[in-house]
Amino acid sequence: MFGFLNPFSKAPSNFPFQYHDGGRETAGFKGGAGDCVVRSIAIAARLPYLQVYEQLRLANESYAQLRNDRLSKRLNAKGSSPRNGNHRNVFHDYILGLGFRWVPTMKIGAGCQVHLRLDELPSGVLIVRVSKHLTAIVNGVIYDTHDPSRGGNRCVYGYYIKT
């Protein structure tokens, strides 16, 4: 109309994306896997992929032995390998133990408040939890095997920030 920007329209400020497998291939693993937890932790904590993988495998094993529920039965049936995912209780405690702090961004019934956008997340070293996925963000760049941002529209459930 008059060349004014609509103050109510907010174009997403997308994160730059950089392919990174977290060291999976270097560790000798081949093919794809649902190992976003291992990859994102290895990237953000700057730890070897194999070290994170093995520590999470042991944590999964312990968790399955201590609990008697559907998850522990699934872990026992499939094995404790973090190749195909980890329970949030297992990876949550592990990430906190590495010196990260959890910041929830979603409340029940409140809807999505924070999206996977540059202007909605803090700078620094983050492990971001979105639906069925964790991704690493380091100094404003997403490091992952694919861009999980959905064009800046993906809702963030919360994030771990390095303290």
Number of domains in the chain: 1
**Per-residue confidence (pLDDT) for residue 1, from 0 to 100:** 37
Residue 9 falls inside a structural domain? no
pLDDT along the chain (163 residues), means of 10: 43 82 92 89 97 92 73 55 77 96 92 93 97 95 94 94 94
Residue 118 falls inside a structural domain? yes
Residue 64 falls inside a structural domain? yes
Residue 137 falls inside a structural domain? yes
Cα distances (Å, whole numbers) of residue 56 to 40, 60, 62:
13, 6, 10
Report the 3 state secondary structure along 22-59: CCCCCCCCCCCCCCHHHHHHHHHHCCCHHHHHHHHHHH
CA 60 to chain centre: 17
H helix runs in the chain, sequence order: 36-45, 49-66, 70-78, 88-97
Residue 89 falls inside a structural domain? yes
Range of the domain at 60: 17-25+33-162
User: How many other β-carbons are positioned within 10 Å of the β-carbon of residue 47?
Assistant: 17
Task: Please tell me the pTM assigned to this model.
Answer: 0.84
Residue 4 falls inside a structural domain? no
Residue 56 falls inside a structural domain? yes
The half-sphere exposure of 18 on its side-chain side, counting CA atoms within 13 A, is: 12
Residue 12 falls inside a structural domain? no
Exposure string of 101-125, with b = 16+ CB inside 10 Å and e = fewer, is: eeeebeeeeeeeebbbbbeebeeeb
**Per-residue confidence (pLDDT) for residue 80, from 0 to 100:** 65
